Amino acid sequence: MSIGAQRYFLSNDRAFSFFDWLTNIGAIFSRILGRLWSDKEVRILILGLDGAGKTTILYRLQVGEVVTTIPTIGFNVETVQYKNIKFQVWDLGGQTSIRPYWRCYYANTDAVIYVVDSVDRDRVSTAKEELMAMLEEEELKDASLLVFANKQDMAGAMTAAEVSDALGLSTLMNRQWSIYKTSAVKGEGLTEGLDWLINIMQK
């Protein structure tokens, strides 16, 4: 697995004053990078509530180890090459105040990786609401959905089947989707999910 990296961060004390900037810059980067890499990369968004493990998963896929992270205010963009396919991966912050801005990054997206904290039973209904609202967006109508039921290494974690039921995945029509149980800390289940994505993209 080879590495290419671009990183973008906003400091916590300036996050809210930059929301308008985020709206514009997301659309601009989507268009520019989409044109530059349209023939080379698969564009993926990593979404989910705050604390689900999105950034940990991103860097586990990229560097193969756990990297100390802080809550993402804004977005991270990384290129992950896996089995001769380059994934242009956008990791967006999951805080309540940031989620409305996810839609600024939907253009040209091939797939969404939706990360769920399998231990956080109290917020799984919120995770479902955000997921269903996202999937109603026109720009994502053709995007495949890969769900990671994350934190399987922790006691009390819901099974992948339980997470699937809680999210209502069986109700999704006309969309390619799958769910995998994962542990970002241990690196389990992540490559299996990417294998599924590759298979879908090559059909």
- Is residue 55 a known part of a binding site? yes
The neighbour count for residue 69, using CB atoms within 10 Å, is: 14
Catalytic residue positions, numbered: 95
Q: Using CA atoms, how far apart are residues 81 and 119, in angstroms rounded to an integer? A: 30
- Is residue 152 a known part of a binding site? yes
Task: Give 10-residue mean pLDDT values along the chain (203 residues).
Answer: 45 51 58 50 86 84 56 65 79 68 84 96 95 94 97 97 98 95 94 92 78
Assign residue 97 the CATH number of its domain.
3.40.50.300
Residue 160 pLDDT: 97
pTM of the predicted protein model: 0.75
Residue 34, CB half-sphere, CA atoms under 13 Å: how many?
13
The count of structural domains within the chain is 1
- Is residue 51 a known part of a binding site? yes
85: domain range? Answer: 3-201
